[in-house]
Structure 1
């Protein structure tokens, strides 16, 4: 097993960072690593906004659901779907926005941007962890995208998708066991529900044991229980309207 794979397999979310900023060299290498990720048809439909200003990080922490580590870390990155750059590219080629509206608002191009941003972020995360730093993804930014967008001054056709805390680890958390490989990896065809259910029952026992140990017996959540609760409490249903307002009605 090489060092890259060791770094990947040792991943865990870090939510407690030392009050030490990343160097400009570290930031540059993390962003360059993000840019080295695969991108559909060379579109590169994402942008990264780095946040250093303490007051702005504090406000983003509040908007993300009062997550303190959004404010206290070495550097905070916001990964955005960015189709505005494509609009500008077309404009430079003498093409009016009305001529490309159908493409800019397509579900396909939106999907390309989301995938591109996710691939870039994961490259950035692995780069940071290879430097001995910790990371934590922040989906909570989508709790208040109108406010986040206003704070970051993102124009139409740009959507802040998630944040990424990066910094020097203060408290290294335990590693959460993922779903068994057999529940994720299918060969030739998708597994039956019966087979999947067997794997989920086994996984439930592992996750309950994890929470029992981590909380000193205060929690024993099952994975299927957590997912069922998530599905019965729909979140962020305003997103469709937000995308429409950002001129991304998704046709």
Structure 2
């Protein structure tokens, strides 16, 4: 990748997002790190990325549940760096409960952060990418964008929606040098997944070890968690010139989960 492209990665202070931000910085991209908080440690992450990879990296607070903040994040990044070359929509939350017990506010929050935020950031980034005649959009979906699991109605719905959004954006932008693709990870051991384990234990009435083995990795044929490094390497590839004709599709990284 050409040095000094600018990449925005939402939800990038930990887990998959942070790994992608670091990987893109290693390729020479300036990085916009994002989360909903605004702490010293948030800004320290950006400073560390900048120092490690000799690029510019800044932290920009934006709450992905709020449409105006999603769009403002892109505008501020473009103002700061002069362009938006790469947009990675990674921000996400999870909640596990049966449909009849699923709290309305949790449904609304998951749809807002996991799906609607991507619509808003993409809509805001398109004019900048069109102006420069190129761009890469990568949406972090999930194996649950392709198949369902019990007790995850909002998450499954949002991730299925992300794949539909990805395809639509790809078709609309196909002649502008802009690609839009999705990555569908299986279970990755991140803080988000760690946070699911107690809820899964409660929902399935199992201990931790049994939940990991029989619920989380039961459908992942390799019986191994996907790593954040594997996800970030895929994102870098989709943002490269080699992936110029990969558009409107998804890359499953799920240990074979969706092969059956």
TM bucket normalised to smaller: under 0.3
Give the alignment's TM-score, normalised by structure 1: 0.26
Q: Which has the larger radius of gyration?
A: 1
Give the alignment's TM-score, normalised by structure 2: 0.26
